[in-house]
Amino acid sequence: MERTLYWQDDCLYLLDQRKLPHTIEYFKCTDYNEAIDAIKTMVVRGAPAIGVSAAYAMALAEIHGEDLNVAADEIKQARPTAVNLFWAVDKVLDAVKNQKTAVQAAIEMEKEDIEINKKIGQYGNEVISQNDTILTHCNAGALACAGYGTALGVIRAAHEANKNINVICDETRPVLQGARLSVFEMQQENIPVRLIVDGAAGHMMQKGLVDKVVIGADRVAKGGVANKIGSLMVALAAKRYDVPFYVAAPISTFDYESNIFDVTIEQRNRDEVLKINDKYITKEETEVENPAFDIVESDLITGIITEEGIKKAL
Ligand code: MRU
């Protein structure tokens, strides 16, 4: 698997996820404003990867002698829903107060993220049975993290344990993280994978063709989990057809302060919905709603797989 991101010669390199799976190209960030733009425009995306990139954005600010508190406020504006962004920036500020450099803190965070995901994979593997078909939504894989992945980390661990699993990826309109990124990751690992349109998830569950759902999270808070738009519909269908519904997320995605319904749901550009491959699929003037995330309520969630074991939703 290509690295999601790396730090070299005082620059941050991000695998440009807008171009996957057809083009492998790294986007170079030489200052923190470039890193902010990369997060906003989804060169890099996925809650833990946004967090680690934000930490490196702080590192870039430090190298260029910028005021770290000003940089922190600006970096936190990049995207509103994934709590890892705020957690990571605050963690770097704390590290700097404790005589570390921001660069050291970011490098440590990147390493720790991969270790955490492997632990999530081990705990998650315990709930996966031999020959399971697992449905996932969006991309909570190596590409959404420093490496290995959360939901796809569970799938990787089950595959490494020779469980003969099959994966179904929702395409995940409008940015197609499922079709472009999760399918790509599964193919790279030779894990059997099928792609479905988002609207087919309920049908597959009604037919008894899904044994478990495993998704990631942008934020876990009191009352439920925020994740990619469409997660709620998958969870409702899973409840109806008695399919266990797991969320895989590191503790850094937990927000113990907020109620999940108070969290800002990012509204993205209308063109994401109006266009496919740069071509309008409907009249340009059509009104659009484009919420990027929705809320899966706690009672729809079987368990949250973390690096500390499987927890109940808050
Ligand atoms: O808009 P994105 O692509 O950043 O949304 C990503 C998701 O919703 C993921 O499921 C979530 O961040 C978990 S990533 C381990």
Distances (CA, A) of 179 to 40, 139, 168, 173: 21, 9, 10, 9
Atom of ligand 1 nearest to the CA of 175: 3
The per-residue pLDDT for range 163-182, each reduced to its tens digit, is: 999 999 999 999 999 999 99
The per-residue pLDDT for range 277-312, each reduced to its tens digit, is: 899 999 999 999 999 999 999 999 999 999 999 999
150 lines ligand 1 (CB under 6 A): yes
Query: 């895989």: which residue's tokens?
Result: 248
In this prediction, residue 149 has a pLDDT band, given cuts at 50, 70 and 90, of very high
In the reported structure, the alpha carbon of residue 103 is separated from the centroid of ligand 1 by a whole-number distance in angstroms of 25
The residues pairing with 267 across neighbouring beta strands, listed in sequence order, are: 291
Average pLDDT, the chain: 98
Is 218 marked active-site?
Answer: yes
52 lines ligand 1 (CB under 6 A): no
Phi, psi dihedrals of residue 259, rounded to the nearest 5°? -90, 140
Atom of ligand 1 nearest to the CA of 50: 4
153 lines ligand 1 (CB under 6 A): no
Concatenating the DSSP letter of every residue in the chain gives ---SEEEETTEEEEE-TTSTTT---EEEE-SHHHHHHHHHTTSS-SHHHHHHHHHHHHHHHHHTT--HHHHHHHHHTS-SS-HHHHHHHHHHHHHHHTT--HHHHHHHHHHHHHHHHHHHHHHHHTTPPTT-EEEE-S--BGGGSSSSBSHHHHHHHHHHTT---EEEEE--TTTTHIIIIIHHHHHHTT--EEEE-GGGHHHHHHTT--SEEEE--SEEEETEEEEETTHHHHHHHHHHTT--EEEE--GGGEEEEEEGGGSPPPB--THHHHEETTEESS-TT-----BSEEEEEGGG-SEEEETTEEE---
Reading the block at residue 254, the tokens are 């937990």
- pLDDT for 1: 86
Report the C-alpha dihedral over residues 238, 231, 220, 304, rounded to 10 degrees.
Answer: 40
Please, what are the domains in the chain?
Answer: 5-115 (1.20.120.420), 123-311 (3.40.50.10470)
In this prediction, residue 8 has a pLDDT band, given cuts at 50, 70 and 90, of very high
Distances (CA, A) of 148 to 38, 75, 114, 117, 134: 21, 25, 6, 6, 17
* Closest C-alpha among 257, 256, 286 to residue 273: 286
In the reported structure, the alpha carbon of residue 293 is separated from the centroid of ligand 1 by a whole-number distance in angstroms of 9
Reading the block at residue 164, the tokens are 């003969």
216 lines ligand 1 (CB under 6 A): yes
Nearest residue CA, atom 5 of ligand 1?
46
51 lines ligand 1 (CB under 6 A): no
Q: Residues 132, 170, 218, 255: which is the catalytic one?
A: 218
Atom of ligand 1 nearest to the CA of 150: 15
Nearest residue CA, atom 6 of ligand 1?
46
- Do 41 and 17 meet the contact criterion of CB atoms below 8 Å apart? no
Identify residue 162 by its one-letter amino acid code: N
This prediction has a pTM of 0.96
210 lines ligand 1 (CB under 6 A): no
Reading the block at residue 79, the tokens are 């995207």
In the reported structure, the alpha carbon of residue 65 is separated from the centroid of ligand 1 by a whole-number distance in angstroms of 32
The per-residue pLDDT for range 52-101, each reduced to its tens digit, is: 999 999 999 999 999 999 999 999 999 999 999 999 999 999 999 999 99
In this prediction, residue 216 has a pLDDT band, given cuts at 50, 70 and 90, of very high
Atom of ligand 1 nearest to the CA of 79: 4
In the reported structure, the alpha carbon of residue 159 is separated from the centroid of ligand 1 by a whole-number distance in angstroms of 22
The per-residue pLDDT for range 103-146, each reduced to its tens digit, is: 999 999 999 999 999 999 999 999 999 999 999 999 999 999 99
